[in-house]
Amino acid sequence: MATLKFTNGYWLTRKEYDVNSPAEAFEAEKDGKTLNVYAPYKRINTRGDELNLGMSTIKLTSPVENVIGVKLTHFDQDTKGPSYELNNLDPDVNIDVTDKKASLTSGDLTVSLPLRQQFDMEFTANGKVITASRNKAQGEILNHDTNVHYMREQLSVGVEDKIYGLGERFGNFIKNGQEVKITNQDGGTASEQSYKNIPFYLTDAGYGVFVDEPQTVDFEVTSENVDRVQFSSEGESLQYYVIYGPTPQEILHRYTELTGRMQLPPAWSFGLWLTTSFTTDYSEKTVLKFIDGMKDHNIPLDVFHFDCFWQKGFEWSNMEWDRDEFPDPEGLIKKIHDRGIKVCVWINPYIAQKGKMFEEGKKNGYFIKRENGNLWQWDLWQAGNAFVDFTNPDAVKWYKSKLKALLDMGVDCFKTDFGERIPVEDAVFFDGSDPKREHNYYTLQYNKAVFDTIEENKGKGEAVVFARSATVGSQKYPLHWGGDALSNFKNMADTLHGGLSFLSSGFAFWSHDIGGFEDGPDTPTPDLYKRWTQFGLLSSHSRYHGSNVYRVPWNFDDEAVDNTRKFVNLKLSLMPYLYTQAAHDTTYGNPLMRPMWFNFTEDRTAHTLDNQYMFGTQLLVAPVFNPEGHVNFYLPAGKWTSIINDDETYDITDGKWISKDYGELDLPVLARDNTILLRNPKAVHADYDFTKDLDINLYDMHEGSTSVAVVDQKGQDTGKVTVDRSGNQLTVTTTGLTGSATIYVHENGKVTKAALNGTEATITL
């Protein structure tokens, strides 16, 4: 998994490589809204210098305002698919070419190059240089031992700049100093590998960079060259985009404008998901026992998930129920639906040799093949696995027909597992796609097929998958979970780091296996189970899952039952806030869970935090990552009040670290000042009328007017609450709310309760 390195220290090139870099921008020309720059690999002083010399063509464009595309080309060769589907909004640009300089401006972002001088390409925003491709940063590179060609770029980094993103990565949240290989792998959550590799990084210097290459891209993040972020890939060209914000919210907004807008999952998906776990024994009797057990313990449940063994062993994923354990699946699904619970089943795109689907797929040419015409098979995961070839339109229709049959039975959604171990060597795709480009791209084709099938059958806004793998554009097909975590506190924290990294990479929704997946010697202890439950139910989506141990809370201890009930009810009560935040974030291209620095860009300490997060714009969550219940968390300046314990309040002047112990049913969940938090503590499912019978919680409201919207179950703005403060008097005005509403004013550690009479109330403190 080593990344590509081309240099031997700063001065020398590694012996196997020949590196050519543009020495100057020799000529530039405007072509409509494109600026073409020609950059030879040595300075041109005489006509003779133009002979026997290579050069890069640098094509500068702008598909979205404040986004500049850069394509570096050595030899202009046709590329076999696939390619990411990008949106071109065709903004106005200003291109200026003089004898001394060439530039392209889109919005507030400008790229400029001096002509006939030492090569330099600067990106400026509002007159300030944000990054640059300096002399010898770009490279046209040949490995003369293997005859493989690469293209390289290096973009400068400022003294205090921090780099985030690059997909779901379980190491340090800040990527400075790291080597990152963008290639999807099934490596668990305790390694350098990742299920979700996104060639996009975000900086706290006001910009992001997206490398538009679906094949493997190697990033050296201030590592090989400590002053620069280097990215390189095999081939004769390299396309990337510099995206100006300057806020992280604006950067992600423009990134998703370019690569595809997020979609809002249905409201019911935000409730608790319970699974059979993986290798446990389960049948209709077991499933109903668990579902009814949750009801008996007064724990609300929204989704039940059947993992792999809803099908017979050795036959995954043939889309057929194991009739020995589930003789009447339609009847079982109806029983679950009658209890008010949705049904999810596990699938993957690998088809085992033992099963009807394999024979159908083989006969009709629906699988990836080898160059000799045989199927590409191996025994990893299931015996004789073949891979559905989603470049074949008929294979897609066939696969979707199998899903539709399950949807017709009553299945509501699918857990789309795997999609990472897609063959590259000796692999042939139906449409002739380059296997090296297909490897990462495959997950997009797979999850799109599943998502589209659900949407076609259930209706717009009702589709959701529970996916493990992802690539650029996968944000259009939510949602994703973190993969196979280890059942220990350290990997629980690693899981959060991976989630924050992923959510900084253009994704809105994310979940993880509550309790950790890999049991083995690390079977979750009751304290780990309880702490992970809190973290899980304070994530955008919440699912219990494990390998060989059932994850029902009564298997741990009585306090685990109380803990689960408490935090399920907390999350359900918060749905008017959460779904409104989610709907608005999705529209703008932002995550529901987000790193602290997103909301506190002026607080430099917040830029380093990765063991806590903001849940929407108004709530801070700091999970407990140890059995002692000890938490060190940081509060930016402002007033903070616990939404769990009203007597936990903080008035912070300049930002402060807090060190505190929490009981097993408690953790820091704090509302910031000037928060209007809408809740319904009587909710029993995640999908309900978010405008009805609300508690209106007001936290240290500021002088003047503050308002929040509330959405309906489809994510459309329906109601509004406005608070006008003048001194000690608060006037609360509402529109679009129904039923009764109670107002709770939280201020200086005290709670004042008032009723809403009609649509307005005045409270004097």
Summarize pLDDT for 112-164 with one digit per residue, the tens: 999 999 999 999 999 999 999 999 999 999 999 999 999 999 999 999 999 99
Cα separation of 428 and 370, whole Å?
A: 6
Mean pLDDT of the 324-349 span: 98
413-416 β-sheet, strand order: 413-416, 342-347, 303-306, 272-275, 542-544, 513-514
The dotted CATH code for 616-764 is 2.60.40.1180
What is the predicted pLDDT for the residue at 520? 67
Cα separation of 648 and 522, whole Å?
A: 34
Mean pLDDT of the 439-460 span: 98
Cα separation of 713 and 718, whole Å?
A: 10
% helix, strand, coil for the chain, step of 5: 20, 30, 45
Torsion-angle region of residue 157: left (phi > 0), alpha (psi -120 to 50) or beta?
beta
Per-chain mean pLDDT for the chain: 97
| 314, pLDDT greater than 80 | yes
What is the predicted pLDDT for the residue at 473? 98
- pTM score over 0.85: yes
DSSP state of 399: H
Cα separation of 330 and 335, whole Å?
A: 9
Among 451-460, 480-489, 515-524, 559-568, the least confident range: 515-524
Mean pLDDT of the 3-13 span: 94
Amino acid, single-letter form, for residue 691? T
Could you tell me if 287 and 318 are in contact, meaning their C-beta atoms sit under 8 angstroms apart? no
Sheet strands (E) in 225-309: 228-234, 237-244, 272-275, 303-306
Over residues 25-68, the pLDDT tens digits come to: 999 999 999 999 999 999 999 999 999 999 999 999 999 999 99
Quickly state the pLDDT bin for 355 (edges 50, 70, 90).
confident
Could you tell me if 418 and 468 are in contact, meaning their C-beta atoms sit under 8 angstroms apart? yes
The string of DSSP codes covering 638-699 is EEEEESS-TT-EEEESS-EEEEEE--TT---EEEESSEEEEE-TT-SSSSS-TTBS-EEEEE
What is the predicted pLDDT for the residue at 319? 96
Side-chain-side CA neighbours of 761 within 13 Å: the count stands at: 20
Over residues 202-259, the pLDDT tens digits come to: 999 999 999 999 999 999 999 999 999 999 999 999 999 999 999 999 999 999 999 9
Chain-centre distance of CA 390, in angstroms?
Answer: 23
Q: How far apart are the first and last CA of the chain?
A: 62
| 352, pLDDT greater than 70 | yes
Cα separation of 579 and 4, whole Å?
A: 43
Helix (H) or strand (E) holding 480: strand 480-481
87-118 burial: b if 16+ Cβ within 10 Å, else e: eeeeeebebebeeeebbbbbbbbbbbbebeee
Q: Is the dihedral of CA 532, 533, 534, 537 positive or negative?
A: positive
**Which listed CATH number (3.20.20.80, 3.10.180.10, 3.40.50.720, 3.40.50.150) goes with 268-347+396-420+434-593?**
3.20.20.80
Could you tell me if 405 and 319 are in contact, meaning their C-beta atoms sit under 8 angstroms apart? yes
Instruction: Say what percent of the chain tops pLDDT 90.
Output: 97
Query: Catalytic annotation on 420?
Result: yes
What is the predicted pLDDT for the residue at 267? 98
Q: What residues does 669 pair with on adjacent strands?
A: 621
Cα separation of 180 and 139, whole Å?
A: 19
Q: Parallel, antiparallel, or unpaired for β 350-351 and 386-387?
A: antiparallel
Mean pLDDT of the 445-455 span: 98
What is the predicted pLDDT for the residue at 571? 98
Could you tell me if 63 and 88 are in contact, meaning their C-beta atoms sit under 8 angstroms apart? yes
The dotted CATH code for 7-161+204-259 is 2.60.40.1760
- Which residue, 470, 555, 483, 550, is CA-closest to 513? 483
| 366, pLDDT greater than 70 | yes
Task: Quickly count: other Cβ atoms within 10 Å of residue 509's Cβ.
Answer: 26
Cα separation of 398 and 450, whole Å?
A: 12
Over residues 617-645, the pLDDT tens digits come to: 999 999 999 999 999 999 999 999 999 99
Structure tokens at 114: 């001096």
Chain-centre distance of CA 353, in angstroms?
Answer: 33
Mean pLDDT of the 100-111 span: 98
What is the predicted pLDDT for the residue at 521? 67
| Domain residue limits, the chain | 7-161+204-259, 268-347+396-420+434-593, 616-764
| 519, pLDDT greater than 80 | no
| Helices and strands of the chain, counted as H and E runs | 11, 47
Cα separation of 581 and 574, whole Å?
A: 11
- Decide if 7-161+204-259 and 616-764 have a common fold: yes
Helix (H) or strand (E) holding 202: strand 200-203
Cα separation of 342 and 616, whole Å?
A: 26
Q: Which of 140, 234, 417, 648 is catalytic?
A: 417
* Burial class for 334, CB neighbours closer than 10 Å (0-12, 13-18, 19+): middle
Mean pLDDT of the 434-440 span: 98
Over residues 639-670, the pLDDT tens digits come to: 999 999 989 999 999 999 999 999 999 999 99
Q: Which of 420, 484, 527, 666 is catalytic?
A: 420
Query: Catalytic annotation on 417?
Result: yes
Q: Parallel, antiparallel, or unpaired for β 350-351 and 342-347?
A: unpaired
Cα separation of 284 and 286, whole Å?
A: 6
